[in-house]
Structure 1
Amino acid sequence: MNSVKVWLSVILLIIATSISAQVLKPVKWSFAINRLSDTEAEVVATASIEGEWHLYAANIPEGGPVPTALVFEENEAYKPVGELLQSPEPKFFHDENFDMELAYFTGFAKLTQKIEISKPGKHKIKGYVVFMACDDSRCLPPDEVEFELIFESTGAASDQSSLAITPESDSSSGQTADRGFWGIFWLAFLGGLTALLTPCVFPMIPLTVSFFLRNADNKARAFRDGFVYGITIMLAYLVLGLAIALIFGADALNRMATSPVFNVIFFVLLIVFAASFLGAFELTMPSKWSTKLDSKADQKGGLIGVMLMGLTFVLVSFSCTGPIVGYLLVEAAVAGSIYAPAVGMFGFGLALAIPFALFAMFPAAMNKLPKSGSWMNSVKVVLGFVILALSLKFLSVADSVSHWGLLDREVFLALWIAIFFLLGLYLIGAIKFSHDSELKYLGVPRFGLAILTFAFVAYLIPGLWGAPLKAVGSFLPSITTQDFNLNEVRGGQVVAPVAELKGKSIKAGPYGLVKYTDYDEGLAAAKEAGKPIFLDFTGHACVNCKKMETTVWSDSRVRDMLANDFIIISLYVDDRTVLPEDQQFVSETTGKKIRTVGNKWTDFMINRYKVNSQPYYVILDHNEVVLNTPRGFNSDTEAYVEWLREGLGAFRLSNE
């Protein structure tokens, strides 16, 4: 009798297991709410559809299968307005069973419904999506998935431009964590500290120290000027950045930072500074202006010059800080509120201002040094060499964006090798300028600096043959401009010759990689090759993008995976190629006229991913579904390798 019970239990367990195995959920939903204004929002329902299953569209005739619909709970505080929007365009076919034309989605679907908020306050937007899924041999019963989203109409929640919930996850409320203004402040503050490490900020260190050397004998004035300098930097980022965002849009800083005119102007400006420091001439104002400023200095202590120096710092640093600032300002363009970006810009400017205020105060300590003027002249000459070298970065940006072909990687490196070699000779006294004092002996600090300078020259030389030079890679032109790259000759070949790949947008990338610069062509190539998409938002003038290429992409594991396992699509947000008239349009997201290829990809990035900073990497499947969390700038190679493997594994799993 006991054995019968055991066998009966086993049979029941097998039956239960087989029944549970037939419970299918081929469609998974996620929901989000996007702020359009203080009284309007969009509810977005996104479906991820497995394998051969398809989801019926919303616009199918009555008498057939159940159409997909977004249903809202009745509430006096809000109501849906306008029609339900669907994307991508559904596929149409004639269904023999129903004898009618039907439409359906495969892989991916997005429903967007505009709602109107009639009452202020925080509201729970509730409802459900009703849908029906089928494959070639079966259909599932109609199903419903509920959602609950949070919207606050006072603007206090404007930092939540997109609040998302995935019902199948452990979350039950649908409300993401509210970062609050303090969270935004500290995030922006960290961004400002990160910006200190970018190459565009480096030239301002010697310029700042040199400018404030005048306070070496006046400690009180040094601290006063340093404080005013820091406040000017902070307020300039806050006021100027927000003004540009509100007037021109969130990506205006990026456009300015990549402008050839802007970069050539600052190249010339730094050349003038360098020439002056090397002794070619003294930078002096006309005597009439000088007299006025001297009288002002007695009354105001020369604070006008200090503030102008602060504004110069902000403008010069835009080339690297613009993309980071742009990430904060995108809130103003997409969410329609200035409060969150204002807090973010304050935190960002404060992080940059603090160390540079200290640099401005530093000369106060120089009164402990010998009073002789010879050492001070040597400092100016060394700074002149450094500024001369750093000025090439701005010319390189203008050359890269405009495709002049004047300053490829070898030419840039040759100039740097010459400049720093001459600096080493100057430090050991082998060369001197007309205003230099005689060098009677070589001090230990000067000797140590000379060793470092010659060692740096030796480090640069292999770059002429394609060495990545990771320490300075973000300064250099792209390695794709290298005429001779020993790495490619020794085995960094592309998987397939460029001639075998289809599309007009194929270009050579770094380390023998090939990439598409048009999204649609790259997507089609990925489908044909059966590979996932590696989407790379980049720029000709993006220094952090170059740093990622030299420090991370140069790793053999990363290079091999990008070459063999992915189709690379690189979208250049600073490409100034003008679109044909029939392809120009007004952005629904920012309201700006999209005239260039770069404008197009910037708008695509903001609209789809709600960011506009570069670099930005996304791994997609053939239905344009994001396979893992996108990544921005992060030079941790090991983490990048794991991220690529994770995306590749998710793609393979979804195609099993």
Structure 2
Amino acid sequence: MKKLIWLVLLCQTQPLFAQIREVVDWKYQLNKLNHDEYEAVLTAAIEKGWHLYSKDLPPETGIPTKVEISTENIQPIGGITEVGEKISEFSEAFGAQIVYYSDSATFIQRFRLVNPESNANVRTQITFQACDDRICLAPNTLEFEQRITMDTIVDARTADTTAAGINYGNGMIRINTLDPDDPLTTKGIKQTTEDNSHAWVFVLGFLGGMIALLTPCVFPMIPLTVSFFTKSASDKRKGRKNALTYSFFILAIFLLLSLPFHLIDGISGNIFNELATSIWLNLFFFAVFIFFAISFFGYYTISLPSWLINRSSKAEEAGGMVGVFFMAFTLVIVSFSCTGPILGSLLGGVASTSKNIPLLLTFALGGFGLAWAFVFGALALFPHLLASLPRSGSWMNTLKVVLGFVELALALKFLSKADLVSKTFLLKRELFIGLWILIAIVLAFYLFGKLRFPYDSKNEKISLWRKIVASVMVFFALYMTQGLVPSAQPKLALLSGILPPLNVSFYASPEDGLFGIQPQYDYFEAVALAKKERKPVLLDFTGYGCENCRKMEEFVWSEPDILPLLQNEVILASLYVDDREELAPDQQQSIDIGKGRKKKIRTIGDKWSLFQQVNFNNNSQPHYVLVTPYGEVINSPVSGYMSKKEFKMFLIEGTAYFKENEGKVLALSKKSDG
């Protein structure tokens, strides 16, 4: 039950051990042409199966490759010259002719020195996007720099690099000693994961489809449609065949609804990558869910344009397979006023994740469509089951209203995430719980018949199932009241990860830490403290919008045999990868990430996200790494929500190794200080 509630929100973090794809290898070179003219040459080696867009793309299509050279002492000569086997083809997604390169491509920009007698730092920036036949990677911007001194070209990047890593303010982004593939000890757990999120999304889609079948827009259509096919055909076999074909088309239509999301992902790269922690997106979903809830309450109807319904209905007259297809299409359109909010909630939940969103949407819509196809197909094969279906009635409107209350409750989750990521911390844990209690109580009043909405019957008899659900809501409200009072141990395990964190509370604040733990929020500050206290550092790559992180903190960290380890044996460094706070202007800079490439970082989250990717080739949260005060990985890192047993083994093996080898660490400390 807990897992099902969790997956209703579909707001989990990155897949475990997600690898950072780099499919284009760039080489940069400056060539002298004559006394004052040079050329900057960028050569791309493209991984097989991938392609790189040309600079000459039609407007509003893909992202063209763009090269810019900046310095005060140069003047570009002409535009960018491209060299390579250029491929031109018509893109149905864009509706235009696109141009790209596969295997390799070279981009050349000529320039002259304004003052040939002066030195020049030539900074060349390239923005590009790599795609294959299925997906596109996120657009990337790399920066290269070389210096022209007395007719000599030298590599200016070495000024930014030290033997230990890449300078960044008072610290570094790449730490060469951090090698997760070569830990100091191989003891402990070797974490293996199985990502079953697709299966659960499919199941939730199926359940959503079954619920939608019970709404007043769809349910009356079931016996009418099945009877039409089984009675209007010349023989029963043909009638059942048409009904099964009808079911197949329903499933196909719902699957086709996910196609635009695949195209968007292909056109704009990993466009969904930051949706899970986008403040504005979560506020948008909050408003959308409120809009859906009011619609379910019966105050207005969400519907598609009438011309679309009329055209689809007219197309049914074509007969044959075409007619059957448009009958299915008409059903989907006509039922939109009931299915729209359910589908919208399902898709909104998926879109607020940072997983492979287009594929998850396909699974969700496939499950939704399969529920409909299964019911129509089963009744077509066994028409006698029609007699066992319940009659249409006011119970269907009651179901819609109940779903409206569910939409209200889920809307608060999106508002909470926006509040956490923005670090306003206005929606306290107790306030969130109080609002859910209020929603549960008002729903109970409605089910007991004490409250009516526009489409409710005035003299409706309160059925037994309404009384049962109302009683469940009362008990649920009572269950949630325990979260309104402070407690040494976390409560409301059923809602773990859904509620705001324990330290976003009227009784505490984020600055107070958690369970008496005062984490550091900077790797380098944590390392400095660890050297002083001679303890290992536990790197906790986390996020304000990461529900699995909250689950770990509340129901694994808080365990009596784990909490002392976190309080006494390690220095905790909580590095928030979704922190939107901008860095100081002097820290917003381009960071060399190897092979002459640079990456711009603007926010605190950018910094720690890049730190995690560069050093650990991972971008999942939560992600835990135990390191020595001198930047050596102690044991194999672990990711995601895990059992208390696994996390305890990870901590004990790492801290035990550190204690046993403390002499070596101290020797390293003296050597470093010397």
- State the TM bucket, normalised to the shorter chain: 0.5 to 0.7
Q: What is the letter of the counterpart of residue 531 of structure 1?
A: K
Confirm or deny that 1:317 pairs with 2:371.
no
Deviation at 1:641, TM superposition (A): 1.6
Structure 1 vs Structure 2 CA RMSD: 4.4
Q: 2-side partners of 1:409 and 1:480: how far apart?
A: 8
Between the aligned residues of both structures, percent identity stands at: 31
Residue 539 (str. 1) matches residue 558 (str. 2):
no
392-401 or 419-428: bigger deviation: 419-428
Once the two structures are TM-superposed, the CA of residue 509 in structure 1 deviates from its matched residue by 2.8
User: Whole-Å Cα distance in 1 between the matches of residues 257 and 448 of structure 2?
Assistant: 39
Match of 1:253, SS?
coil
Instruction: Indicate conservation of the 8 Å contact 1:534/1:617, yes or no.
Output: yes
Partner residue, 1:340: none
Cα gap change, 1:298 to 1:572, in 2 (>3 Å): farther
1:249-285 alpha-carbon deviations (Å, 9 max, x no partner): x5x5342221121111111111011011112222245
- Change over 3 Å in CA distance of 1:241–1:455 after alignment to 2: farther
CA distance in 1, matches of 2:651, 2:505: 27
**Take 1:87 and 1:215, find their aligned partners in 2: how far apart are those partners?**
72
User: Which is further off, 415-424 or 641-650?
Assistant: 641-650
Residue 598, structure 1, aligned to residue 621, structure 2: no
> What amino acid sits opposite 1:278 in the alignment?
F
CA deviations 1:145-184 (Å, max 9, x no partner) are xxxxxxxxxxxxxxxxx9x789999xxxxxxxxxxxxx9x
| 8 Å CA contact 1:201, 1:316 repeated in 2 | no
Counterpart of 1:88? 164
- Aligned counterparts, 1:637-656, within 5 A: 637-656=644-663
Who is 2:292 aligned against? 273
CA distance in 1, matches of 2:545, 2:517: 19
Deviation at 1:514, TM superposition (A): 1.4
Higher RCO (CA < 8 A, seq sep 6+): 2
Report deviation, 1:223. 5.1
How many angstroms apart in 1 are the aligned matches of 2:206 and 2:507? Answer: 30
Counterpart position of 1:553: 557
Q: C-alpha distance in 2, partners of 1:597/1:201?
A: 40
2:499 to 463, 469, 476: 476
- Give the partner amino acid of 2:356: V
Matched, 1:261 2:280: yes
Please say if 1:403 is aligned against 2:423.
yes
Is contact 2:282-2:352 (8 Å) kept?
no
Using a 3 Å threshold, how does the CA distance of structure 1 residues 259 and 655 change in structure 2: closer, same or farther? same
Q: In structure 2, how many angstroms separate the alpha carbons of the residues matched to 1:281 and 1:381?
A: 13
Map 1:442-591 → 2, pairs under 5 A: 442-466=462-486, 467-484=490-507, 507-586=511-590, 588=592
Cα 1:388/1:209, change in 2 over 3 Å: farther
With 377-386 and 456-465 compared, the bigger mean Cα shift is at: 456-465
> For the structure 1 residues 414 and 259, does the alpha-carbon distance in structure 2 shift closer, same or farther, using more than 3 Å as the test?
same
Residues 507 and 517 in structure 1, CA contact (< 8 A), matched pair in contact too: no
1:584 Cα deviation after fit: 1.6
Task: Tell me if structure 1 keeps the 8 A contact 2:537–2:572.
Answer: yes
| Farther-moved stretch of structure 1 (577-586 vs 590-599) | 590-599
Cα distance in 2 for partners of 1:202, 1:415 equals 26
CA distance in 1, matches of 2:505, 2:618: 31
1:259–1:398: 8 Å Cα contact kept in structure 2?
A: yes
Q: Given residue 443 of structure 2, which amino acid in structure 1 is its aligned partner?
A: L
In the alignment, is residue 627 of structure 1 matched against residue 634 of structure 2? Answer: yes
Cα drift, residue 586 of structure 1: 3.2
Corresponding position of 2:198: 192
Q: State the distance in 1 between where 2:206 and 2:658 align.
A: 40
- Say if 1:193 and 1:352, in contact at 8 Å, map to a contact too: no
Alignment of 1:235-246 (within 5 A): 235=259, 238-244=262-268, 246=269
Q: 2:254 aligns with which of 229, 242, 251?
A: 229
SS in 1 for 2:638: coil
In structure 2, the CA distance between the partners of 1:197 and 1:241, relative to structure 1 (3 Å rule), is farther
Unaligned runs of 5+ in 1: 1-32, 43-81, 91-107, 113-161, 170-182, 327-344, 489-505
- Report the equivalent of 1:609: 616
CA drift at 1:215: 5.1
* CA drift at 1:540: 1.1
Output the amino acid matched with 2:291: V
The C-alpha deviation readout for 1:611-656, integer Å capped at 9, x for no partner, is 1121111111112222222222224122222222122112222314
CA-CA distance at 1:361 after TM superposition = 4.3
Shift of 1:527: 1.5
Asked if the contact 1:226/1:360 (under 8 Å) is kept, the reply is yes
Name the stretch that deviates more: 431-440 or 472-481. Answer: 431-440
What residue identity is the alignment partner of 2:301?
E
- 1:444 CA drift (Å): 3.9
Q: Secondary structure at the match of 1:436?
A: coil
2:282–2:414 Cα contact (<8 Å) kept: yes
- Residue 325 of structure 1 aligns with an amino acid whose one-letter code is N
- Structure 1 distance, partners of 2:532, 2:183, is 31
Q: CA deviation at 1:468?
A: 2.8
- Tell me the CA shift for residue 212 of structure 1: 5.7
3-state SS, counterpart of residue 376 of structure 1: helix
Superposed displacement of residue 421, structure 1: 1.5
Amino acid of the structure 2 residue aligned with 1:580: A
Q: What's the secondary structure of 2:626's corresponding residue?
A: strand
Any conservation in 2 of the 1:263–1:394 contact (CA below 8 Å)? yes
Tell me, in whole angstroms, the C-alpha distance in 2 between the residues paired with 1:203 and 1:404: 34
Offset at residue 557 of structure 1 (A): 2.2
Alpha-carbon displacement from aligned partner over 1:474-507 (angstroms, at most 9, x marks no partner): 111111111227xx9xxxxxxxxxxxxxxxxx94
User: 2:178 touches 2:632 (CA, 8 Å); kept in 1?
Assistant: no
| Paired residues of 1:267 and 1:392 also in contact (CA < 8 A) | yes
**Structure 1 residue 392, shift from structure 2 partner:** 0.5
Instruction: Specify the alignment match of 2:368 in structure 1.
Output: 356
Paired residues of 1:469 and 1:550 also in contact (CA < 8 A): no
Per-residue CA deviations over 1:262-313 (Å, capped at 9, x if unaligned) read 111111111011011112222245xxx3234332344342467989889956
CA 1:588–1:293 in 2, change beyond 3 Å: closer, same or farther?
farther
One-letter code aligned to 2:501: S
Counterpart amino acid of 1:263? N
Contact 2:622 2:641 in 1 (8 A): no
- Corresponding residue for residue 21 of structure 1: none
Question: Structure 2: how far apart are the matches of 1:213 and 1:406?
Answer: 42
- 2: distance between equivalents of 1:405 and 1:522? 25
Amino acid at match of 2:249: R
Matches of residues 334-413 of structure 1 in structure 2 within 5 Å?
351-361=363-373, 364=376, 368-413=388-433
Residue 311 (structure 2) aligns with: 295
1:571 Cα offset (Å): 1.1
- Counterpart secondary structure, 1:619: strand
> 2: CA distance between counterparts of 1:544 and 1:620?
22
Report how far residue 236 of structure 1 moved: 5.2
Asked if 2 retains the 8 angstrom alpha-carbon contact of 1:389 and 1:416, the reply is yes
Give the match for residue 55 of structure 2: none
C-alpha separation between the residues in 2 aligned to 1:635 and 1:292? 49
Deviation, structure 1 residue 351 = 4.7
Name the CA shift for 1:315/1:376 in 2 (closer, same or farther; >3 Å).
closer
Give SS of 1:570's match: strand
Rounded Cα–Cα distance in structure 2 between residues aligned with 1:621 and 1:586? 28
Q: Match of 1:451, as an amino acid?
A: S
CA positional deviation for 1:593:
2.8
Q: Matched residues in 1 for 2:598 and 2:333: separation?
A: 38
State the partner residue of 2:68.
none
CA contact (8 A) 2:208 2:342 kept: no
**What is the Cα deviation at residue 391 of structure 1?**
0.7
- 1:213–1:363 CA contact under 8 A, matched in 2: no
**Rounded Cα–Cα distance in structure 1 between residues aligned with 2:276 and 2:213:** 21
